[in-house]
């Protein structure tokens, strides 16, 4: 697998979220940890997000942009797709991919708690393997920010680790360097409702440690 080099130029913003700075190895490592299923998991995430041609889409905590690029495939040439991440190294790798592929996706250094976008802007917001990098109060603040930038009826699609309930799941998550997780994607419902989201749907990703939650921003047109 190609492992691009990156030269970080921007400073990382202050956040209580856990940044990943080892960006050039991230795609390779994710491929290994998902037993070669990372691409299929990302494609399934993009499909579950129900992105349509022409949609305006944000990938929060986009990392190296693997899901963001699939979102662009679905939104097409008339869609606008953005990715933000506080790690300049991750954003650097993502930017290299769009530069090499001549793809129109806007990657920026930024944080979920202060999204650099206007109110009611996005049809779809994505969050993939990011929520578990945030402390609980930052999840609450971040979901409120996502609600602010979502259009009325806009979709929020979160894919992340499930709270491990069996010994096997606990062992798998520990193997994936996330030992000690007390909550999971299935525990976000209350915070989503408080932030203003409704029509919450949950499900599995077809890879035991991972699940998803999808919801709609409930606000007036």
Ligand X SMILES: C[S@@+](CC[C@H](N)C(=O)[O-])C[C@H]1O[C@@H](n2cnc3c(N)ncnc32)[C@H](O)[C@@H]1O
DSSP 133: G
Q: How far is CA 134 from CA 45, 76, 143, 203, in A?
A: 20, 31, 11, 21
**Closer residue to ligand X in complex, CB, 112/217:** 112
Binding site for ligand X (CB under 6 A): 15, 17-20, 30, 60-63, 66-67, 85-87, 90, 111-113, 128-130, 133
**Closer residue to ligand X in complex, CB, 62/71:** 62
CB of 143 to ligand X, least distance (A): 12
What 3-state class would DSSP assign to 144?
helix
CB of 178 to ligand X, least distance (A): 9
CB of 63 to ligand X, least distance (A): 3
**Closer residue to ligand X in complex, CB, 27/55:** 27
CB of 220 to ligand X, least distance (A): 28
DSSP 167: H
Which among 109, 102, 57, 49 has a CA at the least distance from the CA of 80? 57
**Closer residue to ligand X in complex, CB, 66/123:** 66
Q: How far is CA 172 from CA 24, 59, 62, 76, 108, in A?
A: 24, 26, 23, 36, 32
User: What size, in residues, is the chain?
Assistant: 221
């Amino acid at each position: 697998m190609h492992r691009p080099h990156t030269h970080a130029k921007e400073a990382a913003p202050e956040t209580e979220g856990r940044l990943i700075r080892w960006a050039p190895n991230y795609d390779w490592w994710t491929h290994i940890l998902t037993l070669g299923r990372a691409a299929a998991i990302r494609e399934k995430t993009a499909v579950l997000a129900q992105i349509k041609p022409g949609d305006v889409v944000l990938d929060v905590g986009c990392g190296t942009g693997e899901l963001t690029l699939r979102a662009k495939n679905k939104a097409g040439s008339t869609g606008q797709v953005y990715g933000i991440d506080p790690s300049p190294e991750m954003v650097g790798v993502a930017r290299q991919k769009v530069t090499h592929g001549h793809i129109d996706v806007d990657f920026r250094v930024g944080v979920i708690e202060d999204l650099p976008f206007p109110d009611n802007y996005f049809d779809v917001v994505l969050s993939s393997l990011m929520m578990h990098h945030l402390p609980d109060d930052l999840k609450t603040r971040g979901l409120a920010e996502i609600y602010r930038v979502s259009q009325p009826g806009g979709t929020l699609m979160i894919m992340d680790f499930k709270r491990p309930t069996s010994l096997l799941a606990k062992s798998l998550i520990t193997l994936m360097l996330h030992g000690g997780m007390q909550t999971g994607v299935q525990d976000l419902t209350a915070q989503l409702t408080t932030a203003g989201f409704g029509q919450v749907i949950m499900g599995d990703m077809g890879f035991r440690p991972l699940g998803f939650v999808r919801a709609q921003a409930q606000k007036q047109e």
